[in-house]
Chains A and B, each alone.
Chain A
């Protein structure tokens, strides 16, 4: 059986890639996808640890993460669409109205 640390390490790598993506990409949709990447990394570790400790709670958590991810997808993409309408772009650097 594959040791749980393998899964965790893999999860960490995937999470890191997600973070780097969020920081370096400017396309809001790609940023959004990188966030999905991070969520999945966490999901993976949840399931792996659920197996390690022998109960299903971790998997339930993953289920809820998915729910949130779905909701986030719906709202986030709607935001991106309205952003595109006002800024004619989905570049995050163009959405700088909060510049203090």
Chain B
């Protein structure tokens, strides 16, 4: 199990670095697909089966297809401006390291002490569905509204403007 975790983690991190580092946006997108798949595996390893499936279908499937579609539509591959200066990249890296330097020990300290719950939650469709349609029904409906608003908004934004 642990070995599998590390393997998937490695894939996940490499693909994440790929997303950030690729000069070609298409490559970034493909790396992101890999990354999302790895996250789906992680979800599955954590017994979140429903989410793992949704992750694959919605994220790696629908959203990434949309992204790739836009990339194709706009036909942009390379950033056409010179690469950023080393200073900016260095600063960002330094900031990232500082973030990690503070965040990781914090996480270790905060959560190591919490005992593993006896209940082994199963994020099955049934369980998640039950919760969604009972306790979280209101947010759920709100989410549907949000999606609708997003659809309308996207159409509005993306349509060509006609001038009289």
Whether B13 lies near A37 (C-beta < 8 A) is: no
Whether A79 lies near B16 (C-beta < 8 A) is: no
- The total of chain B residues at the interface (CB under 8 A) is 83
Whether A17 lies near B20 (C-beta < 8 A) is: yes
Q: A13-B100, A56-B121 are in contact. Are A71 and B157 (CB under 8 A)?
A: no
Within 8 A of B (CB), among A24-38: 24-27, 29-30, 32-34, 36-37
Within 8 A of A (CB), among B107-164: 107-108, 111-112, 114, 116-121, 123, 127-128, 131-132, 136, 139, 143, 146-147, 149-151, 153-158, 160
Whether B80 lies near A48 (C-beta < 8 A) is: no
> How far does the Cβ of A43 sit from chain B's closest Cβ, in whole Å?
7
Whether B92 lies near A50 (C-beta < 8 A) is: no
Whether A40 lies near B35 (C-beta < 8 A) is: yes
> Which residues of B does A touch, CB under 8 Å?
1-2, 5, 9, 12-13, 16-17, 19-20, 25, 28-29, 32, 35-36, 39, 42-43, 45-48, 50-51, 54-55, 58-59, 62-63, 66-67, 70-71, 73-74, 76, 79-81, 84, 88-89, 92-93, 95-96, 99-100, 103-104, 107-108, 111-112, 114, 116-121, 123, 127-128, 131-132, 136, 139, 143, 146-147, 149-151, 153-158, 160
> Which residues of A does B touch, CB under 8 Å?
1-10, 12-14, 16-21, 23-27, 29-30, 32-34, 36-37, 40, 43-44, 47-57, 59-60, 62-64, 66-75, 77-82, 84-85, 89-91, 93
Beyond the given pairs A5-B107, A24-B20, 5 more chain A to chain B contacts, judged by CB atoms under 8 angstroms and listed by A's residue number, are: A25-B20, A44-B43, A52-B111, A53-B114, A75-B157
